Amino acid sequence: MIQLEQRIFALDRLGEFLRNINPNDSNYDSLFEVINRAKNVNGWFSSKNVLYAFSQWGDCLNTKNLTKWTNSYTFLKKPPKTVGLVLAGNIPLVGFHDVVSVLVSGHKALIKCSSSDPLLIPFLIKKIQEFEPSFVKSVEFTKDRFKNLDGIIATGSDNAARYFEYYFSKVPNLIRSNRNGIAILDGSETKQQLEALANDIVQYYGLGCRSTAKIFIPYKYDLNIIFGALYPHSHLMDSDKFANNYDYNKAVYLMSQSNILDNGFFILKEDSTYSSPVACLHYEYYKDLQTLEKKLIKEQDSIQCITSNQEKEKHFAFGKAQHPKLWDYADGKNTLDFLTLLS
């Protein structure tokens, strides 16, 4: 069994590799090759977005972060358990946190990649195994039905999550469903904060569960401020997939006589729901922050993360929605706690 120190060292080596990506370095030829292949498989996986995802993992995977993350855990020196992973594929590497969690805890990962992201995680696993060959026995990929699992971690849509809960009911499981990112504005935001908010909205074309899909604003808030912050991202229309979604959603809203605001590449729509389509941001007015906070507590199962300029626990600063730490768990479900209980 690989010792924790070895596991952390190998993951740190991977982080170092991802922190120093250089297109002029032949050591990265295979990385740029897999980026091009991934882009051909999934048109949403632009080179820019995949490189961004790689860089975020480069920032996360260092000895300091890994030690802080695992420091309060005692991973028992028992034979590793086999943990099935059903990974999402809405944005590049979205399921990699589950993979890292299983590896750092000393278990074996049996991975079913999303058909939307079948290449990037296998590439990173191969790199880890180069740094620590013992990890070869710790990871297996499959397209078949899972058998003889000791635990399962699965992520999917709300419908898929219900299926997972039924199908894996007799196995220790951690199931995640659809959630969305939101932002709370009070009108005091600086230009820099609004620009950072715009990044949270458009990063990964808004397809991430942490992407800001909805904003809460005080009455009489000038929504032209949001359009102003979004304007530098008008190049999104260079993507045929984004442009087609914008045109389609705008046509649907106009035919249904929905009340929308439009700047030529992005739509703002007053809507009580949390999930907004590509090229659209929902907004909802609030009377006061205290009442809003009570509402969000009631509806917390729809919310993945909150950005605001309030210094509150579980609130992220604008621009940090897609910068979770290793200990910022999706759906608030602590993966290491779950994996430790399997030991």
Residue 100 shares a structural domain with residue 195 = no
Q: What percent of the chain is predicted at pLDDT more than 70?
A: 99
Boundary of a domain, candidates 123, 149, 178: 178
- On whether both 219 and 161 belong to a single domain, the answer is no
Q: What backbone phi and psi angles, to 5 degrees, belong to 147? A: -140, 145
Q: Is residue 338 part of a domain?
A: no
User: Is residue 333 within 8 Å of residue 300, measured between CB atoms?
Assistant: no
**Are 71 and 145 in a shared domain?**
yes
Are 61 and 105 in the same domain?
Answer: yes
Say what the pLDDT of residue 275 is: 97
Q: Are residue 218 and residue 147 in the same domain, yes or no? A: no
Q: Does residue 254 share a domain with residue 203?
A: yes
Per-residue pLDDT reduced to its tens digit, 189-214: 999 999 999 999 999 999 999 999 99
Q: List, for residues 41-81, the tens digit of each pLDDT value.
A: 999 999 999 999 999 999 999 999 999 999 999 887 778 99
- Residues 145 and 217 grouped into a single domain: no
Tell me the pairing of strands 267-270 and 260-262: antiparallel
Residues 14 and 150 in one domain: yes
Residue 327 domain flag: no
| Domain boundary pick from 152, 178, 204 | 178
In a domain, 335, yes or no: no
Tokens 């740029």 — which residue? 32
CA distance 62 to 19: 10
Indicate the pTM of the whole model.
0.95
- In this structure, are 145 and 24 located in the same domain? yes
Work out the pLDDT band at 12, boundaries 50, 70, 90: very high
**CATH code of residue 102:** 3.40.605.10
CATH number at residue 221: 3.40.309.10
Q: Which residues contact 85 (CB under 8 A, 6 or more apart)?
A: 95, 98, 99, 102, 109, 110, 111, 112, 152, 153, 154
Structure tokens belonging to residue 85: 């992973």
Q: Judge whether 209 lies within some domain.
A: yes
Q: Cα–Cα distance between 190 and 224 in angstroms, integer?
A: 14
Co-location of 160 and 191 in the same domain? no
Q: What mean pLDDT do residues 143-159 have?
A: 94
Domain of 25, in residue numbers: 4-178
Same domain for 157 and 193, yes or no, is no
86: which strand partners?
112, 154
- Yes or no: say if 105 and 133 are a contact pair by the CB < 8 Å rule: no
CA dist 239 → 51, 174, 233, 246 (Å): 17, 35, 12, 11
Contact 199, 315 (CB under 8 A): no
> Is 152 inside any structural domain?
yes
C-beta separation of 8 from 68 below 8 A: no
Around Cβ 11, how many Cβ atoms within 10 Å? 25
Q: Is residue 225 part of a domain?
A: yes
Query: Rg of the chain's alpha carbons, rounded to an integer?
Result: 21
* Per-residue pLDDT at 329: 96
81 and 159 both lie in a single domain: yes
Residue 28 has what DSSP assignment?
A: G
Alpha-carbon 197 to chain mean position: 16
pLDDT of residue 75: 86
The total number of structural domains that make up the chain: 2
Task: Judge contact between 238 and 205, C-beta under 8 A.
Answer: no
